[in-house]
Structure 1
């Protein structure tokens, strides 16, 4: 499991590096904006520099500041493991944005929009695939989706729509259109790398239901149903734990099961919809 965690941290750092490269080499110089909190930080930095005369506040610093309250929210409402890796991603992205110089590789805004979106999408896709996120909007969307019982995608669309509208109003309408191109490319690449199922259902057959339940609740805020089960061949009495989790938490669940009961049998299926809340009520 130590090797698995090291690999996940390496992937998160690699994704953060790609996100910083997409901004500093393509998007910032072209006034084309990324999605989520990265785009908010990028747009805020441009406004402070171009209209308020405040220089020296970079996209990386703003991205880090914006994610501090969101990280606190995610710690209590989403899950500790997910928030820790998201915080690592945000911190690494902020550092890379400060280290890598902002240069203009091409004056063609279309090339900047397409390649910026492509590189950012690869970084986000692999980060999601390994059970982490780029922070910010991911955490907010997950919390709001539970409160309002609406798909996560709708909240992504609202915030990204605001970024596109502001880019067109404050600068030029063309900037909004090119930002839309970047967001489209990023989304397509993410979908190609990581199948974005919002929720999955895990059914765990185990002899260690009590220990496993405690370990899961120490890491995740999820409700669990425990049912009696019996092996058809061995006639041995066991328990089956049923819980619904988000796709981000699947890697944490796998780690917990391997640590507590390596002999447990787990079946994970895609969940197309749920009714009611699926978090633990204390």
Structure 2
């Protein structure tokens, strides 16, 4: 019972941190994170799609894949996906609250998101997208979790290079490196 409560608290707190990091620091400067969230942010910037709902739609195939390979993760990750998507959309009003430089936004936003994701992964839950895929990769290969996140997120950032301005691209790279390193520190593997 204690483990269930800890996982639920990690899911709520981690999702809240992800929502704050995305809305307070990445979105105001049109920065992207990697993974599914990065794709959802690109779609938000160009088509004004709601980021959280888009994240759910894009993450469901990965959640189904994870259910086939790591059955125990499926339900906690669906909860993490829904909670983080909810907080991302709920906290959209934060987008104009922290008016700081792109550099500071990339570092602070990356650290806040990394803390949220790391906390969730520590309790075997996640935002459902590529964080979950990175966790599976780090468990079945010798690749460190931070490196797996940076590689997967880097692929999304490279895809975003075609649609981002150069400075947004570089600060987005800084943000995903920060997310990956902080995630690994918090997660503990």
Which TM bucket (shorter chain)?
A: 0.7 to 0.9
The counterpart of 1:97, out of the listed 81, 88, 94, is: 88
- Choose which of 41, 51, 54 in structure 2 pairs with 1:59: 51
Q: Which has the higher helix share?
A: 2
Q: Give 1:167-246 correspondences, 5 Å limit.
A: 167-196=160-189
Shift of the 141–122 alpha-carbon distance from structure 1 to 2, 3 Å rule, reads closer
Name the residue aligned to 1:111.
Answer: 104
- 1:121 corresponds in structure 2 to 114
What is the rounded CA distance, in whole Å, between the counterparts of 1:131 and 1:146 in structure 2? 12
TM-score by length of 1: 0.60
**Which residue of the partner structure matches residue 40 of structure 1?**
39
Q: Deviation of residue 178 (structure 1)?
A: 0.3
Whether the 8 Å CA contact 2:138–2:144 is kept in 1: the answer is yes
Q: What is the deviation of 1:76?
A: 1.7
Instruction: Confirm or deny that 1:131 pairs with 2:130.
Output: no
What residue in structure 2 maps to residue 76 of structure 1?
68
Q: Deviations over 1:118-142 (max 9, x none)?
A: 1001111111112222211134446
Return closer, same or farther for 1:146/1:31 CA change in 2, 3 Å cut-off.
same
Q: Secondary structure at the match of 1:113?
A: helix
My pick for the range that moved more, 19-28 or 153-162, is 153-162
Q: Which has the higher contact order (CA 8 A, sep 6+)?
A: 2
Moved over 6 A (4+): 143-147
Tell me, what secondary structure is at the counterpart of 1:134? coil
Higher share of residues assigned strand: 1
In the TM superposition, residue 42 of structure 1 has moved relative to its aligned partner by 1.0
**Cα RMSD between the aligned structures?**
2.3
Pairing 1:16–2:22 present? no
Superposition pairs of residues 1-12 of structure 1, within 5 angstroms: 2-12=1-11
Distance 1:145 1:110 in 2: 29
Shift of 1:84: 0.9
Whole-Å separation in 2 of the counterparts to 1:167 and 1:139: 21
| C-alpha separation in 1, matches of 2:117 and 2:124 | 11
Q: Which has the larger radius of gyration?
A: 1
Gaps of 5+ in 2: none
Aligned equivalents of 2:112, 2:39: Cα separation in 1: 18
* TM-score where L is the length of structure 2: 0.86
